Amino acid sequence: MVLPIRFVLMRPRNAENLGAAARAMKNCGLSEWTWVRPEAEDLGPARRLAVHAEELLDGVRREDSLEAAVADCVWVVGTSSRKVEGKRRLLPRAVGEELVARAAQGPVAIVFGDERSGLTNAEVERCHDLSAVPTDPSQPSINLAQAVLLYAYEVRMASLAAAPPPPAPLPVAASDAELARVEETLETLLKAGGFLVDPHAGRTGLRDVFAPLRRSRLTHHEARLWLAALHTLRKRLASG
């Protein structure tokens, strides 16, 4: 199921960043994103970096304002290291988890500022909560495409954690004919061993003995093992 999680890039300036961001999003199973007043005009460099993700560049939604980009969203988190009263400051992992959880209620968005100055004060105020990567103080800033990859990865991990694991593939079941061969071979051995001596109760006794095997729904492999084992015993009885 595709979750309504939107990545919003405000005034992106660098075409290479757009191409790398497109690839990162596709790596993580995401495709919904919006550019607000992009300043990168020549997308040639973007296409060179968007390896196998060029369709995200072609299908991107463009808007003139953050308001228009997130108008339908039930939760919007902005990427900014600023501390604003009344807004939570979440780590990327918590953002990924909450985006996945809140997406069940409606579209959600994470907003990235431009490469030079980030989000404006008005854009920060528009967001419900904020998030920043806990980088080392000696190098606090992160490239836009790297930030997109980091948050996309956290969304991916949260999505995988929330989804039930796929069921294990079922083995090939034994056919009715295979079960019949096992039953016939077992009957031969039981008669040879003296277990089925009453001709009137023979079929009933055999049915009761074989019933657990039939209920267990033997696989094709298990039926072949039973036949091999029974044939080996029959040869031993015949030679003894």
* Same domain assignment for residues 65 and 148: yes
DSSP for residue 164 = P
Q: Are residue 108 and residue 199 in the same domain, yes or no?
A: no
pLDDT bracket for residue 240 (50, 70, 90)? low
- 154 contacts 98 by C-beta, under 8 angstroms: no
Confidence of residue 31 (pLDDT cuts 50, 70, 90): very high
- Specify if 205 maps to a domain: yes
Q: What is the separation, in whole angstroms, between the first and last Cα of the chain?
A: 64
For the chain, percent of residues with pLDDT exceeding 70: 95
Within-domain flag for 170? no
4-26, pLDDT tens digit by residue? 999 999 999 999 999 999 999 99
What's the rounded Cα separation, in Å, for the pair 18 and 35? 10
The answer to whether residue 105 sits within a structural domain is yes
Structural domain span for residue 50: 5-162
pLDDT digits (tens, 9 = 90+) for 89-120: 999 999 999 999 999 999 999 999 999 989 99
Chain mean pLDDT for the chain: 90
Residues 190 and 74 in one domain: no
Identity (one letter) of the amino acid at 202?
G
Cβ proximity of 40 and 33 under 8 Å:
no
Could you give the number of structural domains in the chain? Answer: 2
